[in-house]
Amino acid sequence: MIRSFRHCLHLLRVARVLSRHDALFPRELLEASPPGFRVVRRLTRLGLPAWAGSGGDSAGKTPGERLSAALQSLGPSYIKLGQSLATRPDLVGGEVADALSELQDHLPPFPGETARQIVADELMAPVETLFESFDNEPVAAASIAQVHFAVTRDGKPVAVKILRPDVEAAFARDLEPILWIAAKLEAWQPEMRRLRPCEVVRTFADSVAIEMDLRLEAAAAEELGENARANEDGFVIPAVDWRRTGRRVLTTERVSGLPIADHDALVAAGHDTHRLAAKLLRGFLSQAMGDGFFHADLHPGNLFVTEEGEIAAVDFGIMGRLDKNSRRYLAEILLGFVRADYASVARVHFDAGYVPRNKSPELFAQAMRAVGEPVLGRPAKEISLSRILAQLFQVTKAFDMQTQPQLLLLQKTMVVAEGVAQKLDPDINTWDITSPLVEGLMQAHFSPVARAQEVLEEGVDAVRRLPGFLRRAERAVQMIADGSFQLDPDTLQELAKANPHGVRLGTVIVWILLAFALGLAFSLG
């Protein structure tokens, strides 16, 4: 009860801030809202100035922009939550998601002396013994951490990322009431269960927890770097200095290059912006579809162009993963759309389990045609992979499709990557650049030959594990034979309760004996 009361007070404060920005129940939606919404809106606005939400900073802004401003004023946890919601157009709507994707994660820096003390405490050594020089002024300050430039004792320029003091406690304090209200929404509004708000918050909490352990970010950077070097995809990932890295401190080599958003500087330096745009898109799809591990925060502030014309990425706190089946399904869906083979697109959705089996494949194929034709009827250079996925998510409600968080994160990142590429080259033909890569990945990883090879490898692995399994089975049979393995009556009763469908111990013993007999046959053969 006390906890619920505390959560209600916290959420009331949040509601007041949202009302001040006219972001709780936007005025554009009042006419169609139930009377109760209007009552709540008036209650949360009691005591606010008359101009709040209808003038001042909110004047002329869209609902999404007002929500973005409100979250910015609520602080770090809500800034991060807004960025997470930007990946959920199915939950907040496309317009709001677009506005939230512009939410800037910039906060005033904490003092340089505090940063030095955190480094010394975390790495258990004075800063002076670790670095030849350490800049007191940070080059970037965000909600979770800030970055300082330094030079190691052996003369290597590095970037040192340092967590904010007490940031873990602040996020835990804000996340608890958010999860509480998400659970209430699922309980009170059955329609909300399809959108899985509790899972959204937990996924957000997990991603923040990863961001607040910089050793995990270091591991992500190293894995991504290994993949990039193996693929030779033109992405440069800074090396991690593990000696100067801990839970609250991450040290990497310093990236030297021009910001990818500075188009004029890139042209002046002689870089081919069309080639850079193509490299960005191919590199991202190679990460996502080839390796199943991708940088999920490819906004312009995290991308630089080196003197050699390579794209260097920084900040690996938000990463995405796709398992092999998801990658295959996604590739088949994209190719099906481009070939206007909507029956194939529908089949893949049913095969993947994205659409419930009680739905009509023919009706779903018809819905896919309604998604694909407006997009693919345009000139080739206007075909957008992210637009295809965004349109696809709009039909999820009609067919009771459960949200696929991993695909939403991919779509959000694809939107950002395409946006950066189009600023580098407004005439870029996204599909012409990426379709050969998608088809190549399909051939390399998902063709019948590749699948046969995978089955063969799994079979070899199973055979490799068979002797150990048979040895364990032989020991189990021997224990049963000499009476050293016994179950008392109480244990047997518990096993019966745990197996209500009547799986008997004797059946298990028969399978063990059969495995032992097979092992004997193998040894005699």
Residues annotated catalytic, as ranges: 297
Looking at residue 238, its amino acid is P
Give CA–CA dist 227/294, Å, rounded: 10
For 314, residues 6+ apart whose C-beta sits below 8 A from its C-beta are 159, 238, 252, 255, 302, 303, 304
Give CA–CA dist 85/197, Å, rounded: 11
For 88, residues 6+ apart whose C-beta sits below 8 A from its C-beta are 97, 200, 403, 408
Token pair recorded at residue 172? 């835990």
Give CA–CA dist 311/303, Å, rounded: 7
* Site of tokens 């967590």: 163
Give CA–CA dist 149/52, Å, rounded: 41
Give CA–CA dist 386/391, Å, rounded: 9
Q: Which of 320, 338, 495 is nearest to 412 (CA)?
A: 320
Beta bridge partners of 294: 320
Other residues' Cβ atoms within 10 Å of the Cβ of residue 86: 23
Is 152 in contact with 244 (CB distance < 8 Å)? Answer: yes
Backbone torsion region of residue 76, taken as left when φ is above 0, otherwise alpha when ψ lies between -120 and 50, otherwise beta: alpha
